[in-house]
Amino acid sequence: MNGITTITTEEAFARTAADAPTGTRVPVEVRVEVTDPFEAYRRARDGDADGFFYETTGGQDGWGYFGIDPVERLRVSPTAASRDDESPSMAAIDGLLDRERLARGDCDVPYPCGAFGWLSYDAARELESLPATTVPDGLPRLQLGVFDRVAAWEEPRGDSATLRLTACPVVGDDPVAAYREGRDRALALAERATTGDREVTATAATGGRSTFESECGEAAFAERVRHIKQYIRDGDTFQTNVSHRLTAPASVHPVRAYDALRRVNPAPYSGLIEFPGVDLVSASPELLLDIEDNRLLTEPIAGTRPRGATSEADDALEAELTGDEKERAEHAMLVDLERNDLGKVSEFGSVDVSEYRRVDRYSEVMHLVSLVEGRLRADASVADAIAATFPGGTITGAPKPR
């Protein structure tokens, strides 16, 4: 079938399923060569579909993933959470993860299935009792989709990529039927990824070039800064990022918007999420939280300079960045904040700054980056770790509820 190879055999699947509790997902893997995983995602959408596309661009090592058609959704709005079993609020994350179990067998894809999605900045209101100081925008605070079929590939890649497509059926009383279901669903995704319709639906024209507008003027922004300075004097915070929202009408489809973004701004954590009501296009250099085998990892970024036109200019700007007293002090404060956040859910004595103030260079800028690690306590969950670290200190500074 179009160069598609089934990797997981029925016998290997049966061996893994025999050792797994009933209700566990077991992956079935197929592979196919493609020239560009994003092109494969466009074809897998087959015109229009709910899905996500994550990738590591810019030559960094990592994994990329895409998925379409989630089998379950979790959406948390300012007033309620909706899920198949109506679990309330952010506690639904724990319920979702506790219920989903995976037996990998021989599959070494890091995420052969699972929950993919996003948390908005206002998800912090699910974690803290905060005053209603913002105007509701109608956006959900959290959206996740559970995908039982995922395509994965390793970065960096050359002129082609090996797509490793996995389907993870739930194993019950008939493992043979479960295997065949998984194989057929994995093959179907591979077929769509190679032969589907790559075009996207048309969008309504906005009438000319769009202009971004701020939700506050210069005077209002300056007043916010004055308030923050007073909060610092009062001891309510020692560092705060003051932001404002920029909005613009747009007629571009999110798939095309992301395709343009990934070309001009390659970043380690780039992605497109197409969910009902809200599409997200993102390219970020920063990792908020990674959890693997109870190992916690966060990489705070604080301190920036532009890239130079030559290698000599780059070196001069890097020396300026690493020697700047303000940048060094700000970075130290935020690393301490991340250490404290991880400490809330880590085993005593396990939190460590394993890399401090390294310089990472990207297409347009360079950053100061540190690596903070810890070990998740046995009585703490993934949702607990998210709650401890969200929103990241490099986004908020270090405010406290008033």
pLDDT at 227: 92
Q: Do 184 and 213 belong to one domain?
A: no
Residue 266 domain-assigned? Answer: no
Torsion of CA 84, 90, 94, 96, to 10 degrees: 20
- Greatest extent of the chain over all pairs of C-alpha atoms, in Å: 69
> What is the rounded distance in angstroms from the CA atom of residue 21 to the CA atom of residue 24?
6
Q: How many CB atoms lie within 10 A of CB 370?
A: 22
Are residue 363 and residue 238 in the same domain, yes or no?
no
Pair of tokens at residue 225: 């800064």
Which residues span the domain enclosing 402? 285-402
User: 152 and 294: one domain?
Assistant: no
Q: What is the mean pLDDT of each run of 10 residues along the chain (402 residues)?
A: 88 95 95 95 87 85 93 80 50 78 93 92 77 72 92 87 96 95 97 91 64 89 93 85 85 91 90 92 93 94 94 96 94 93 96 96 92 97 90 78 66
Do residues 23 and 115 both lie within one domain? yes
Q: Judge if 224 and 150 occupy the same domain.
A: no
Name the residue among 323, 396, 318 with its Cα closest to residue 362: 318
106-121 residue pLDDT tens: 999 999 999 999 988 8
Q: Is residue 45 domain-shared with residue 179, that is, in the same domain?
A: yes
Angle at 268 between CA 262 and CA 271, to 5 degrees: 50
- At residue 87, the pLDDT reads 45
Residue 174 lies in a domain: yes
Is 253 a domain residue?
no
pLDDT in tens, 148-193: 999 999 987 778 899 999 999 999 999 999 999 999 999 999 999 9
**pLDDT at residue 375, rounded to an integer:** 98
**Helices and strands (H and E) in the chain: how many:** 10, 19
Considering its fold, how many domains does the chain have in total? 3
Q: Does residue 305 form part of some domain?
A: yes
